[in-house]
Chains A and B, each alone.
Chain A
Amino acid sequence: MAHQTEHTSHHPSFMQYVLIAIVLFVITIVEFLLIWDRLGIEDDLGASKIPLLVILSAIKFAIVIMFYMHLKFENRLFGTVFIAGLALSFLVGIALIGLFVGFEAKPRSYAEARAIPYEEHGGAGEETHPPVAAGPVALGVAAVADSLVFDAASLSAKSGSEVTVSFTNPSTVNSHNFVVVESGTKDAVATDGTTAGPTNDWVPPGDPRVIANTVLIGPGESTEMTFTAPAPGTYQFVCTFPGHNFTMFGDFAVN
């Protein structure tokens, strides 16, 4: 019992605990403000914010183990046992990172060789090419002779990549365009495009469902357009020339 009363008297008082809690809160708020993009501090700090954040969290860590866990007031052996485990875990971490970075084990090239394209996880896609980095992507599409179809039923690109579409119209009579729209909206966009009329290339201007579109090209002409692939998901491409949308469309997969 004597041991216990003595032990208790060493613990911080209620007000000290409140003070410690406030300090922990303030540090967390500072950490948040450091990286909050609306404040813009993180732009000025650049890479130096990382050691700053690590130091701040190390301070929080130390405060909790010293005061809340009473390590400051306890027998040193408890602290030694715990710090030994902590030090060992740091060594394990350094060893692991060293193993993968220092000895060129190249986890990324290992993963690259075995990567499954994103769309396959959902079982929807059929292409098995390894995903490329979000670099520029060139896609070629054409209408098929005088038929009201595209020569591709599906196209794909990686999200964020710069996609250049070369669109050719080999028809001798028909005019076409190539419009990328949100999934399931091809007919609705085409209907509104009809209202917008030929002066707008049969595309409703400023429509949020339209991701990108080429101009309307006549028989034998070709055109090109460049846009940034949107967020991952399935989109559609369609010709919005009145009536063409029912047969002249396909899926545009962004992965």
Chain B
Amino acid sequence: MAHAVEHEYTTTGLNHRKMLMWVFLGSDCLFFGSLIATYMVYRGQSLVGPYPVDIIDIPVTTISTFVLLMSSFAMVQALAATQADNRRAIVGWLMATAVLGAIFIGFQVVEFNTFKNEGLTLGGNLFGATFFTLTGFHGAHVTLGVIWLVALAILGAKGRLGPNTALDVELCGLYWHFVDIVWIVIFTLLYLIGGFDAGPTALPGG
């Protein structure tokens, strides 16, 4: 199937599916850009606690960031294995990527639960509203990616992935790496920089 698509005539001379993925990722930038901007607008404006400084756990989130970075490495290996037509490696690396993604989600579930117990809710204060919306949508992207990866791994196990269908894996990889770079931005802004924010009076000029 994908093989036939490769030889389709297109106005740009580029593969339609790959172009679609890049256009989608470009538009997804806008989606996350808006949510991040909203977080920044309301940063330090919460009137009641808990504030980021009370609950953000940077060491733990650094570990989950490592896990996600590692999953990106496993993803590129999955694509390389597909191009090399190594079925065992395809399934292995795809599953490794999926498992690492699932571990990241596990960290997020525990984090959300801890925050909820500390009193941070979607409707409690501006920090909770913007934090959960942004990281929640990111977590949803990761979850979708994990499902996609597992589906590909099943196809791979059936021997339906190889050099001719490498694009199937490559598109999933593009999506996966995109989710990774979104997290790079979120981790820097919400955790490394925003993780020390206290109440309104503690902010300079706030």
Contacts and interface: CB of A to CB of B under 8 A. Distances in A.
B206 to A, nearest CB: 8
Contact of A35 (B28, B38, B192, B201): B192
A159 interface: yes
* Contact-residue bracket for chain B: 35 or more
A4 B163 contact: yes
A107 B45 contact: yes
B199 interface: yes
B62 A32 contact: yes
Contact of B50 (A11, A96, A232): A232
A131 B48 contact: yes
B66 interface: yes
Nearest to A47: B204
A60 B72 contact: no
B34 A92 contact: yes
Contact of B184 (A64, A90, A160, A255): A64
Contacts of B40: 93, 97
B150 interface: no
Contact of A69 (B32, B80, B177, B187): B177
A57 B187 contact: yes
Chain A CB within 10 A, most for which of B25, B28, B48, B73 = B48
A138 interface: no
Given A17-B77, A118-B48, A85 B30 contact: yes
B100 to A, nearest CB: 12
B37 A53 contact: no
Interface of A: 3-4, 8, 11, 14, 17-18, 20-21, 24-25, 28, 31-32, 34-36, 50, 53-54, 56-57, 60-61, 64-65, 68-69, 75, 77-78, 81-86, 88-90, 92-94, 96-97, 100-101, 107-108, 111-112, 115, 117-118, 121, 130-131, 133-135, 159-160, 231-232, 255
Given A31-B188, A35-B58, A64-B184, 4 more contacts: A69-B178, A85-B23, A93-B34, A96-B41
